[in-house]
Every structure is written in C-alpha cells, then in structure tokens.
Amino acid sequence: MKYYNKMIFEMSKPGRIGYNIEEKNLPEVNLPKHLCRQTKADLPEVSELDVVRHYTNVSQKNFGVENGFYPLGSCTMKYNPKINDELATLPGFANIHPLQPVETIQGLLKVYYDLQEMLSEISGLKAYSLNPFAGAHGELAGLMIIKAYHEKNQDFKRNKIIIPDSAHGTNPASATVCGFETIEIKSNPDGTVNLEALKSVLNDETAGLMLTNPNTAGVFEKDITEIAALVHKAGGLLYYDGANLNALVGKAKPGDMGFDITHINLHKTFSTPHGGGGPGSGPVGVCEKLVEFLPNPVVRKNDKGYYFDEAKDSIGALGLFYGNASVYIRAYVYIMTFGKEHLSDIGPMAVLNANYVKDALKDLFELPIGGYCLHEFVFDGLKDQSIGVKTLDLAKRLLDYGFHAPTVYFPLIFTQSMMIEPTEVESKETLDEFIQVMRTIVKESIETPELVKTAPHNTIVRRLDEAKAARQPIVKFKDIK
C-alpha cells in the first residue's frame, strides 16, 4: 500500500505522540468520577506530521469546485468566494453562544434581518424565515405552511399536492413526509407544465402545486401566470422550488409570477457551501397572507433594536436555536458584494455559459430540447446510441480527465439524461477544455468503447456500487475486512 493511502490507524505506533505537555503544566480539574473515562481511549498513536499528512491526503481524495470544473446540473456548484468565509469567521460572529442575550448580538441580528429583507426583494415575497437547513427542509416548511393555511380555513379536504413528472425527487418526498398525497402530472416534451394535464387534476382537494422555474431541463415556464391563475382559482397555493433561482436572480421574481411560497437554496444561488445535506440553508419566504405561518424564529426590528420573534400561527421551529448562522453571513456577504446593481449580472452569464457548452456539443449528443436554454440543459446520451456507451460510462470517463460528472439520469423524463450546469463562474478556457474532453470521450467511445465502459481508471476508487456506497458506507477503519 502506498504510504499516502494509509489510514491513520495504520500509521499508529505504540507510544508515539504529537505533543508532550508535562503533567505539572496542565491546569487542575476536578471532574466528578462518573464523568471520567475508565478505560484508555482507543485512538491512533501518531505524530503531528502523521496527522497533518493524513488529513491533507484525505482532503485530496475528494473533488470540489476548488479542484476543478463541477457541472452538476440542478446543483449550481459555483465557487464560494473566500471573502464570505473571512467575514463569517470574524470573532464577533464566530464566538457567539446560541444562548447569548439578544442585546449582545445586535450585529448578527442585523445580518439576519437584512438578509430576510434582501431575499424578500429578490423573490418578490413579503417575508422570510431563515430557519430551514436545506432546500428539501425548506420544502417541508413550505408544505407545512400550506397545510396550516388550509386547516386554519377549515378546508380539511385539501390534501393533494400536484407535482410535474420533471420535478426534483425531493418535491414528492417532502409532500409525502408532510402527509399530503402527491398527484403527478405528465409534462410537455420540454418538461414544462402541460396545462390540460394540470386542469384535469385541479379540484377542491388541491392543496397546492410545486414547481421550479426554470424547470430542471433549463426551460422557463412561459405559461406561469396562467398556471398560477388556475391553481388559485381552484383554491390551491403555488409553491416555488427555488433551486433554479440562479438563472433569474435580479431579473425576474417568483412573487411576480404568482408564487405564494418559496424556499431558496442559499448554497446554490448565493454561493454558500454545499455538502452532504449540510451546511446548507433553505430560507422560506411567503406572500402577505401567509406571513403569520412562517417557521420560528423570525427576526424583527423595533425602536430598541433587532429581536427574535415568533409568527402568530407559526408552524414552529424546524431546527434548534437560530439556524445556520455562518451560512447566512456568507450569503449576505455574497449579495452585498454584487450589490443591487450587479446581482442581475449573474443569471445572464450562467445562461451564456450553458448555451455555449450546449451549442458546442450538440452535434455529438442527443439534444431533446432545442432552442436556447437558461442556466442548464439536458443531453439524452450519445447521438449514436448503437455504440452501446451509456450516459453513466461517459460520466465515469469524465472523472479520469479531472472533471466532475454532470447530473445523470435526472430529470426522469429522458432515458439517458445528462444535465449540465456550468454556472457563471467558469471561464471560456475552462468551458473549452471541457468541450474538448467531451469530444475526446465520444471519439474513444467509437474507437475503444471498452475503455469508456470500464472507466474510471485514474481515480482513487473505481466504479462503485453506488446504492451500497450511499446506503451502507463503511465509515470506520476497523470495519474494513
């Protein structure tokens, strides 16, 4: 085994230590006996250098936007500027205790308040709670609001949420977790809502419709105002899945389109870190008539300053304390860095980049939706499918060239989906390199298909059983047989 592949337990040598602090220099502590360990902790015995090498090597086995191009469609993997981190880790923010009196955290509360206001203005909705911890968590909050609203109106029959078949899987999952029955409607060939299909399911049991706009195929829902009118006429509410807001930020507002509720994935549009379900953030915003259902807490302001408040008919808190504070600061810094004047520069650059890549590759890949796309687009596998090389093979081969794969096999409306979202942060040179590599892989698929079908060849691990890797991960060294 190569030295740099060794796990920290394999480096362990009895008696080896990182620091030697003489006992007489340690402060005296009198812990109650029942809190003291009875047996020695089973930890690796290693030097400081071993530890540093271990973690540095582990960090290099991962792929992030700071390693290379990460065109994961629907995920908006944009660069997280360092200034966000720098300001979020200022001691005045980083050292706050969650139980500190509000008079002593007015600076942080101003950030919360201003961020709520900025998100309101960006999305055209009346008010926000920052509380939820991810996009899907925001969906759950929004659906709980829909439920609470209908229940307050004694409209108990409304237990159905309509979701197009092009939607992200979290939409039906959140609706089900919230106790709704989900009604799937077939989309048009470009993934947009089929109005006839929608009309056929709207009735007095409709609680609401969940939509993302632009949709997951990167197409703007041009009938959105008609869709909103239909849903409202039937007595339902319109939920905006804000995962694709990056295409529209500063240009168009979900509130103006008729949406009543939205979540915003701060870790997408507003460049805060993604990662393993956290540290994400999915603030939820609502129109005027739903303000008093928002999750707690909300930050409000009076003549004495900022304070945490509770909405009158609140669905309650979705997490402990006050949400993902350091993420809010990062999003706040990002928005302030652009300012009101330049926030609307983001979407057009993202759209330009997506169209540039699509156009440069459309002769080799099946393009199920023609015309201009917005921030992302979908290829439906190789144009010549008789070669037998599938989307999964192409995605794995990309890893060998040092690029992250696009999102694959989603949306489900195509069989070989490959959803590419470059975002606005990438340079033309990076996009050209990606285009060149994609063309090379297509050539390989024709000349040496086995090479592509058995990829990746250069990564730390080869082709994994992805279901098992996600559901039964081995996270302890000692479990490895």
Q: Which amino acid is at 431?
A: L
Name the residue nearer to ligand PLP (CB basis): 68 or 279.
Answer: 279
The angle at the Cα of 95, spanning 90 to 97, to the nearest 5 degrees, equals 145
The residue among 241 and 292 lying less far from ligand PLP, judged by its C-beta, is 241
Q: Return d(Cα 185, Cα 264) in angstroms, integer.
A: 24
Q: Which is nearer to ligand PLP, 242 or 381 (CB)?
A: 242
User: What is d(CA 437, CA 185) in angstroms, rounded to the nearest whole number?
Assistant: 37
Those residues whose C-beta lies under 8 Å from the C-beta of residue 150, and which sit 6 or more positions away, are 156, 158, 207
For residue 394, the minimal CB distance to ligand PLP (Å) is 21
Which residues make beta-bridge pairs with 309? 298
| Residue 280 binds to ligand PLP (criterion: CB under 6 A) | yes
Minimal distance, residue 133 CB to ligand PLP, in Å: 9
Q: Which of 136, 178, 351, 357 binds ligand PLP (CB under 6 A)?
A: 136
Selected from 80, 84, 129, 170, the binder of ligand PLP by CB under 6 A is 170
CB contact burial 359-387 (16+ within 10 A = b; e otherwise): ebbeebbbbbbeeebbbbbbbbbbeeeeb
Residue/partner pairs of 61-66 with CB below 8 Å, 24 or more apart: 61/460, 63/399, 63/404
Structure tokens that stand for 374 in this block? 């917005």
Shortest gap between Cβ of 218 and ligand PLP (angstroms)? 11
- 247, 351 Cβ separation under 8 angstroms: yes
Q: Report, in Å, the least distance between residue 169 CB and ligand PLP.
A: 8
Does 206 bind ligand PLP (CB under 6 A)? Our answer is: no
Identify the residue among 50, 221, 241, 421 touching ligand PLP (CB under 6 A). Answer: 241
- The first and second tokens of residue 344, run together, are 């609307």
**Binder among 158, 160, 168, 375 for ligand PLP (CB under 6 A):** 168
- Does 175 bind ligand PLP (CB under 6 A)? Our answer is no
**What is the nearest approach in angstroms of ligand PLP to the Cβ of residue 110?**
26
Least distance from ligand PLP to the Cβ atom of residue 243, Å: 3
Contact status: 282 vs ligand PLP (CB under 6 A): yes
What mask, x for binding ligand PLP by CB under 6 A, covers residues 332 to 351?
--------------------
CA 187, CA 198: separation in Å to the nearest integer? 9
- Cα separation, 413 vs 372, in Å, equals 19
Identify the residue among 124, 135, 164, 411 touching ligand PLP (CB under 6 A).
135
Question: Binder to ligand PLP among 216, 262, 314, 417 (CB under 6 A)?
Answer: 216
When binding is defined by CB under 6 A, the residue of 227, 243, 294, 438 that contacts ligand PLP is 243
Question: CA–CA separation, 310 vs 145, rounded Å?
Answer: 14
How big is the site for ligand PLP, counted in residues (CB under 6 A)?
14
Single-letter code of the amino acid located at 376: E
The length of the chain in residues reads 481
**Toward ligand PLP, which CB reaches closer, 77 or 325?**
77
- Taking CB under 6 A as the criterion, the residue among 118, 134, 143, 252 binding ligand PLP is 134
Q: Does 174 bind ligand PLP (CB under 6 A)?
A: no
Residue (of 252, 265, 259, 441) closest to 351 by Cα position: 252
The nearest distance, CB 481 to ligand PLP, in angstroms, is 33
Classify burial at 32, counting beta carbons within 10 Å of its beta carbon; exposed 0-12, middle 13-18, buried 19 or more.
Answer: exposed
The amino acid that residue 235 corresponds to is G
Show the tokens assigned to 332: 């706040």
Q: Which stretch binds ligand PLP (CB under 6 A): 97-105, 109-117, 130-138, 292-300?
A: 130-138
Minimal distance, residue 221 CB to ligand PLP, in Å: 13
221 binds ligand PLP (CB under 6 A): no
**Which of the ranges 9-17, 128-136, 148-156, 371-379 carries the binding residues for ligand PLP, by CB under 6 A?**
128-136
Token pair listed for 143: 């659906």
Binding mask of the shown chain, residues 47 to 76, with x at each position contacting ligand PLP by CB under 6 A: ---------------------------xx-
Question: Does 116 engage in binding with ligand PLP (CB under 6 A)?
Answer: no
Q: Which among 129-137, 184-192, 218-226, 372-380 is the span making contact with ligand PLP, rule CB under 6 A? A: 129-137
Q: Which residues pair with 426 in a beta bridge?
A: none
Is residue 210 within the footprint of ligand PLP (CB under 6 A)? no
Q: Which of 46, 52, 55, 43 is nearest to 17 (CA)?
A: 46
Q: Exposed, middle or buried: residue 312 (CB in 10 Å: 0-12, 13-18, 19+)?
A: exposed
H or E element in which residue 148 lies:
helix 135-152
Binding residues for ligand PLP, rule: CB under 6 A, are: 74-75, 134-136, 168, 170, 212, 216, 241, 243, 265, 280, 282
